[in-house]
Amino acid sequence: MSGGTVDAVGASTIDPMVRIGRAAVFTVFGLNGFLLAMWVVHIPAITERTGIAHSTLGMFILLMAGAGIVGMRLAGPLADRFGSRALVGVAGLTASVCVIGPGLATGPVTLAIALSAFGFGNGALDVSMNTQAVHVEREYRRPIM
């Protein structure tokens, strides 16, 4: 992405590629919210099908958060090495595929594994999309998020 230019009246114009980057970041933020909503609205059905108690579900959600923290911790160095744009794609794909797992879980063990995978992907997506948003804001030279 390249910086903007200034036109004759002094108003800042933004490079079209930067505008595309802003739209892409907006889309990824929306995707992340949609993925979490897909999981949350199915909690009652998944809990019933797997036969777990509410206390067990609470522990599994904590496990999902822990896996998310691991994903966040690994996302920083991966973004430094491969770039946040590439990591957004990989983490977004990972979270998108893994959100299906809890819906396919048939018991406590498979649910725990599925939620861990989804949490990991979501954590990595969170860091990478926010890093990409910072890059877009720098190109805009003003807060836009």
Residue 80 lies inside a defined structural domain of this protein: yes
Residue 63 lies inside a defined structural domain of this protein: yes
Domain with 49 in it: 5-140
Phi first, then psi: what are they for 142, rounded to 5°?
-165, 155
Residue 5 has pLDDT above 70, yes or no: no
pLDDT of amino acid 12 = 63
Phi first, then psi: what are they for 140, rounded to 5°?
-75, -25
Residue 136 lies inside a defined structural domain of this protein: yes
91 in Cβ contact with 110 (< 8 Å): no
pTM (2 d.p.): 0.85
| pLDDT tens digit sequence for 34-85 | 999 999 999 999 999 999 999 999 999 999 999 999 999 999 999 999 998 8
Residue 145 lies inside a defined structural domain of this protein: no
Lowest mean pLDDT among 1-5, 22-26, 105-109, 127-131: 1-5
The HSE-up count of residue 44 (CA atoms within 13 Å, CB side) is 1
Structural domains of the chain, count: 1
Which residue do the tokens 């904590």 mark? 62
| pLDDT tens digit sequence for 101-129 | 999 999 999 999 999 999 999 999 999 99
